[in-house]
Structure 1
Amino acid sequence: MNSNFIQVQNAEMVFNTKKGRFHALREINLNVAKGEFVTLIGHSGCGKSTLLNLIAGLTLPSSGALICDNREIAAPGPERAVVFQNHSLLPWLTCEENVHLAVERVFGATESKAQLKARSLAALDLVNMGHAATKRPHEISGGMKQRVGIARALAMEPKVLLMDEPFGALDALTRAHLQDELLKIVARTQSTVVMVTHDVDEAVLLSDRIVMMTNGPAATIGEILSIDLERPRNRVELAEDTKYVHYRKEVLDFLYTRHGHVEKAA
């Protein structure tokens, strides 16, 4: 296994704002192995999404370097697909057409229309949304929209799947169902995943490692917790698993004891 598939090397991120310079991230060093599922967790404002955007190439670091598959990350690319909390589907297109947009961008120069259509439908089938191929976003539920967003990302056959709280806006039952589906999809595709979450249970259930961020400004990686739980994982069985309970407590201790969140007075 390539343990340096994604490399973040001493990355810093400083934003120039109307109120002056804001130091968002400092001294970020992280290696992600090929096929690994890593979650980023921490309190609001700790730079989780900023770090994900750096890996996506949506923003460039103030200093330091980011590398994916031995190439420096200097811009967005189809080898790094992003799934946001907002599904970002185009409302005037069907589910299949929304997926087709991404497929055409990556494979349009080398494949026929029939092949592109087959890719789009296969991606929808992967997330159990083949039945909704001809429906438009307003005709399906929030959870279904998010499935289509994931299908669109997977249709590009990315080397890395980047997810920014993809289930954060969903109700608890829908979120749990999509978490279980994501576990199955990742097992089938062997995707490398970096995911931002606020949900401790989600982090422990899905991850191979949990990267715990210190509070901002100038946030950094506080601790990294390896999750040694066999796959495939079953949330009901894990609920009383002593190792699962231990990992959950470790993350909670970090977030609320070692790096407790203190609300600023108004």
Structure 2
Amino acid sequence: MSYLQISRVGKTFARGASSTEVLRNIDLEIEQGEFVSIIGHSGCGKSTLLNLIAGLTEVTTGGIILENAEVNAPGPDRAVVFQNHSLLPWLTVYENVNLAVAKVFGRTKTPAQRHSWIMDNLNLVQMAHARDKRPTEISGGMKQRVGIARALAMEPKILLLDEPFGALDALTRAHLQDQMMDIHQRLGNTMIMITHDVDEAVLLSDRIVMMTNGPAATIGEVLAVPLNRPRRRLELATDRTYLRCREAVLKFLYERHRFVEAA
């Protein structure tokens, strides 16, 4: 059995007498250590699928199995990084990460071990120098790095990323993409990322899951990205495999956009 198995998952939201089927028959298997991106037009249920994996939303039909255990509630084995960093403004960088560490390791690590673990994760995202600053004193990119450090400090089985770089400027976004590739290379985490950015998906992913349009969206295609790691964005700019994968995703999205316009 795969590390993460999503079997015939559907999600319907009900409001009074009306209901909306957002996802239908989602079948997907993800191996340990994979980086998988999910892409599709707005309203195709990408974030809903991520919330189902996180246990933040209950499935309507089907099931999700992570390492032989059913996913039916939130848990520290699945950490989520949202587009909004969600840092508590009255706490320092260090204290924001400590919230997660104390929750997960409060009974299994000594105070000295927890401190060392917090600093290890801040160093991983190059934010140890700002440990005593509050969110209002650092940039948007730095806040997102702290959010990533907080998620990684939970030592999750899967890191779930919901458009984590969507609100950042292009240069900061590129820098964090490179940093995320480095973290994935070093730690071997299983990562699932929602994105609207085709280049981001191809650059970071082992596979790209392309969703059909909603409502009742499902998986249209799954594209393998056979690019060696580590990856260098400047070298990939003219790489034939990179360009072929990029073209395949764009073609899929363009065809779906035509269906939206026709409707």
Equivalent position amino acid for 1:112 in 2: T
Aligned counterpart for 1:161 among listed residues 146, 154, 159 = 159
- Give the counterpart letter for 2:234 in structure 1: V
Match of 2:15 in 1: 17
Structure 2 SS opposite 1:217: coil
8 A Cα contact 1:254 1:260, kept in partner? no
- Aligned ranges for residues 61-210 of structure 1 at < 5 Å? 61-210=59-208
Q: Is the 8 A contact 1:46 1:213 kept in 2?
A: yes
After superposition, the C-alpha distances for 1:216-241 in whole angstroms (9 at most, x for unaligned) are 00000000000000000000100110
Q: CA deviation at 1:17?
A: 2.5
SS of the residue 1:92 aligns to: coil
Task: Return the alpha-carbon distance in structure 1 between the equivalents of residues 41 and 57 of structure 2.
Answer: 21
Contact 1:40/1:197 (8 A) holds in 2? yes
Deviation at 1:260, TM superposition (A): 3.3
1:168 partner SS: coil
> How far 1:112 sits from its partner (Å)?
1.4
CA distance in 1, matches of 2:68, 2:35: 19
Give 1:214-253 correspondences, 5 Å limit.
214-253=212-251
SS at match of 2:43: coil
Residues 1:59 and 2:36 are matched in the alignment: no
Contact 1:37-1:193 at 8 Å conserved across structures = yes
The one-character-per-residue Cα deviations of 1:30-52 (angstroms, maximum 9, x if unpaired) are 00000000000000000000000
Cα deviation, 1:74-115, whole Å, max 9, x if unaligned, reads 101101110000000000000010000000111001111111
Mean Cα displacement is larger for which, 105-114 or 159-168?
Answer: 105-114
String of CA shifts for 1:111-131, please: whole Å, max 9, x gaps: 111111111111100000010
Structure 1, gaps ≥5 residues long = none
What SS does the corresponding residue of 2:230 show, helix, strand or coil? Answer: coil
> Aligned partners of 2:15, 2:240: CA distance in 1, in Å?
46
* CA distance 1:50–1:190, shift in 2 (3 Å): same
CA distance in 2, matches of 1:95, 1:102: 12
User: Aligned equivalents of 2:134 and 2:262: distance in 1?
Assistant: 43
Letter in 1 for 2:76: P
**1:262 partner SS:** helix
CA-CA distance at 1:9 after TM superposition: 0.4
1:174 counterpart letter in structure 2? T
Partner of 1:39: 37
Secondary structure at the residue paired with 2:94? helix
Matched residues, percent identical?
A: 63
TM-score (norm 2): 0.97
The separation in 2 between residues aligned to 1:189 and 1:232, in whole angstroms, is: 13
Tell me how far apart the structure 2 counterparts of residues 126 and 40 of structure 1 sit (CA, whole Å). 25
Whole-angstrom distance in 2 between the partners of 1:106 and 1:213: 34
Q: Distance in 1 between matches of 2:258 and 2:23?
A: 18
CA contact (8 A) 2:212 2:256 kept: no
Aligned to 2:80, what secondary structure does the other structure show?
strand
Root mean square deviation, CA, Å? 1.3
